[in-house]
Amino acid sequence: MPVISGGAILGSGGLAHWEMKPIAFNGVPTSGGSGTGVGIAEKGQLLVNTATGIWYTNTGTIASPTWTVVGAQT
């Protein structure tokens, strides 16, 4: 099994299993430096709006998340 060491992913074929649990949030997340998940939501982090079931992904940074709806959800 691959090992993550010092920020590098190590393993055969360059593949590794990385588990990031989604954030459960009641409402629409806000983007920006004072928005939802600042300091905890890494790029690629998933968030689910528990009121609507709509999923978002952080396409920004950990310091300034940008929440983008995943796929064509309505």
pLDDT-derived band at 73 (thresholds 50, 70, 90) equals confident
For residues 67 and 61, the answer to whether their CB atoms sit within 8 Å is no
Helix/strand/coil for 14: helix
* Cα–Cα distance measured from residue 43 to residue 68, given in angstroms and rounded to the nearest whole number: 11
Is the pLDDT confidence value at 11 over 60? no
Q: Is 48 exposed, middle or buried, given 0-12, 13-18 or 19+ CB atoms closer than 10 A?
A: middle
> How many DSSP H helices and E strands does the chain contain?
0, 6
Q: Is the pTM of this model over 0.75?
A: no
Structural domain spans, the chain: 23-74
- What does the pLDDT average to over 3-10? 51
